[in-house]
Structure 1
Amino acid sequence: MLGDAVGSIVRVPAEIVNKRLQLGLSSSWKSAVKDSFLSPTGIDSTFASWEAVLWRDVPYGGLQIAAYEAAKTMLMGFGLAGLPLGIIAGAGAGLLAAVLTTPADVLVTRMTTQSPQCYLETKKYMSPIATCRRIVKYEGFGALWTGAFHRGLFYMPMIGLFFAGYEWFKYAIINPSVVAAAGATVLGSVVAASRLLLTMGARALPAMRGRFPLHLLVLVLAHVFTNRRRSGRNAHM
C-alpha cells in the first residue's frame, strides 16, 4: 500500500491528462496540462483528484498483493507451479481487487474529468466524500459500481501477465545458471532444427546443385550454425 502511495506521484498527473484527452475535455496534451496544472482552479482540482486516486490505488495495491499470495498458496496445494501458477493467481487477484475498488475509481473519474470552472466552489465534485454523497443522492448507490464488470475483465489478463513476468524474472535473477543452461538448450535445438532444414532443402532441390553460389550459401549457413552449437556446448562445459 505504501508503494502505491509513492507511485501516485508519477501516475496521477499522467492519468489526469489521459482522461481529459480520452473524454475530449482538452484538445491536446498541452491544453490538458495547462487546464490541470497551470491554473489555480486546475491545481486545486488536481489535488482533490489526487486524494481520490489514493483512496483507489492504495487499497487496490494491498488487496492485489494479499489476494495473489493467498491464491498462489492455495493453487500450489493443487500441484500448480511455474508460469500457469503466476498467471491464474495474478488474474484472480487482479479481478478481485479491481471489482472491490470500483467505487473509488468512479470517484476518480468524476473528479478528474469535470470541466474547469472559474472558482473551485462552483465545481460539482470537490472532494471524494462530497462526490460520493452527491452520486448516491442523485444517482443511487449502484452508480458507484458502474463498470465493475468491465474493470475486472480489463485487469484480469493484465495482472495475470504482470505476476507471471514478475515471478519469471525473479527466478532468473536468483538462478542465473539454470536460466542460462535452459537458454543454451533452446538455442541448440533451434540451431539443430535450422541445420536439418537446410540440409533437407539442399537434398530436396536438385536444381540447387547446379547453381554453385546458392549451394555454397546453404553449406556455409549449415557450417556456421554447427560451429555456433559446438561453441555453446563448450562454453557450457
Structure 2
Amino acid sequence: MSNNIQTPLYFGGIASVITTLFSHPGDLIKVRLQAYRGELKSSIQVIKDIYRYEGIKGYFNGMSAGMLRQATYSTVRFGVYETLLVKMKQKNGQVSLWQVLVAGCAGGAIGGLVGNPADVANVRMQNDASLPVSQRRNYNSVFDALGRIVKEEGVGKLYLGLIPNIGMSMAMTASQIGSYDIFKQILVYYGMRDSSPYTHFSSSVLASLVAATVVSPIDVAKTRIMDSNVKIYNGLFDALVTIPRKEGMVALFKGWTPAFLRLAPHTIIMFLILEQMKKYYIEYNMNSQKLDTRSMMLGKN
C-alpha cells in the first residue's frame, strides 16, 4: 500500500458512530455506577436493576446523544490526531511515544470542547431513569435535551464539566488511539503483519486496558459534575480530591469493569472498522491511479 494516499479524516468519526450501536449499553451501565452516590453497587446489580425497572430498552437510553457525541467528539479528535501525526512521523514511518501523546492530547482537547454539549445530554439521558421520578428530565431525544437545557438552564449548562471532559478526552485519545498505534508498531516489529486483523485486534485489547485505567478517575469526576443541576465540586481537581476523601480511593474507579467491558469491544470494533475503511479506500485509489496511468500510456501510443 502506498503511504502517499491520505485517508479522509472523518473516517474515525464514522467508525465511532457505527461502534456506538454495540457499545452503548456498556457505557450506560458505567454512567449509572459512576453517578451513584452511596454504597458501591456491582455491575451485575445495575444490569439487573435496569432490566427489572426499564426492560431491554433501558439499556439504550440516550442512544441518540451517544451517537451525536461520537459524530462530533470522535470525528474531531481523530482528525486532529491523524493530521498532527502525519506531520510528526519519522522518515521511516514510525512514531514515538511523545509524538502520540502530543497528537492525542491536542486531538482530545479540541474534540472534548466540540463534543461537550452532546456529552452532557448523553450523561443525563443515560442516568435519567435511575433518578427519583420527581427529578427526571424525560428528554425525548438528544435535540430535545439540548434545546431544553438551553431554554431552562442557559447555554452555559451545555458546557458543564468542560474542564474534566477535556482532561478525560485528552487522556482517552492519548491512551486509546495513541497506545493503539504504539502497540501495533511493537507487534509489527515482532513479526505480525501491519494489515492483519489479528494485529488490529491485539493492539485494540491492549489499548483498552491502558485507556480504561488512565481515564477512570477523570471520567468519574466528569460524570458527577455533568449529572448535577447544582454545583457540588469546585472543578475537576476538587472533585478528584473530594470523591476519594468522602468515599475512598476505590470510588475513583467506580465503573472500571463496565468501562473496560464497554471500552474493549468499542475499541476493537472501532479500529477493525476503521482499518478496513482505510484499507479499501487506499486499494480503491491505488487501482484508480493504475487505471489513470494505463490510460495515459495508451493515449500516448
| Aligned twin of 1:7 | 19
| Aligned twin of 1:104 | 118
Quick one: structure 1 residues 86 and 112, their matched pair in 2 at CA, closer, same or farther if it must change by over 3 Å? Answer: same
Quick one: structure 1 residues 84 and 10, their matched pair in 2 at CA, closer, same or farther if it must change by over 3 Å? Answer: same
Give the Cα–Cα distance (whole angstroms) in 1 for the partners of residues 44 and 107 of structure 2: 36
Calculate the TM-score normalised by the size of structure 2.
0.49
1:160 matches 2:174:
yes
The alpha-carbon deviation at position 6 of structure 1 amounts to 3.5
Quick one: structure 1 residues 89 and 34, their matched pair in 2 at CA, closer, same or farther if it must change by over 3 Å? Answer: same
Cα deviations by residue, 1:1-45 (Å, 9 ceiling, x for unpaired): 332233324421122112222222895434422343344x45445
Q: Which amino acid aligns with 1:110?
A: R
The alpha-carbon deviation at position 75 of structure 1 amounts to 3.7
Give the Cα–Cα distance (whole angstroms) in 2 for the partners of residues 21 and 164 of structure 1: 27
The alpha-carbon deviation at position 108 of structure 1 amounts to 0.7
1:55 matches 2:68:
yes
Quick one: structure 1 residues 165 and 56, their matched pair in 2 at CA, closer, same or farther if it must change by over 3 Å? Answer: same
Cα deviations by residue, 1:181-203 (Å, 9 ceiling, x for unpaired): xxxxxxxxxxxxxxxxxxxxxxx
| Aligned twin of 2:144 | 130
1:37 matches 2:51:
yes
Contact residue 49 and residue 108 of structure 1 kept, 8 A: yes
Aligned counterpart for 1:94 among listed residues 94, 103, 108? 108
Cα deviations by residue, 1:67-112 (Å, 9 ceiling, x for unpaired): 11111234459xx952221111111111111121010110011111
* Greater Rg over alpha carbons, structure: 1
Calculate the TM-score normalised by the size of structure 1.
0.61
Contact residue 45 and residue 126 of structure 1 kept, 8 A: no
Give the Cα–Cα distance (whole angstroms) in 1 for the partners of residues 17 and 165 of structure 2: 21
Contact residue 72 and residue 115 of structure 2 kept, 8 A: yes
Quick one: structure 1 residues 36 and 50, their matched pair in 2 at CA, closer, same or farther if it must change by over 3 Å? Answer: farther
Give the Cα–Cα distance (whole angstroms) in 2 for the partners of residues 164 and 30 of structure 1: 31
Quick one: structure 1 residues 116 and 169, their matched pair in 2 at CA, closer, same or farther if it must change by over 3 Å? Answer: closer
| Aligned twin of 1:147 | 161
Contact residue 48 and residue 126 of structure 1 kept, 8 A: no
Cα deviations by residue, 1:110-146 (Å, 9 ceiling, x for unpaired): 1111135999xx8522211111111111100110111
The alpha-carbon deviation at position 149 of structure 1 amounts to 1.5
Give the Cα–Cα distance (whole angstroms) in 2 for the partners of residues 76 and 175 of structure 1: 17
Which consecutive unaligned segments of at least 5 residues does structure 2 have? 1-12, 192-301
Which consecutive unaligned segments of at least 5 residues does structure 1 have? 178-237
Q: Which has the higher helix share?
A: 1
Give the Cα–Cα distance (whole angstroms) in 1 for the partners of residues 183 and 120 of structure 2: 34
User: Match of 1:126, SS?
Assistant: coil
Quick one: structure 1 residues 170 and 115, their matched pair in 2 at CA, closer, same or farther if it must change by over 3 Å? Answer: closer
1:71 matches 2:84:
yes
Percent identical pairs in the alignment equals: 24
Higher relative contact order (CA 8 A, sep 6+): 2
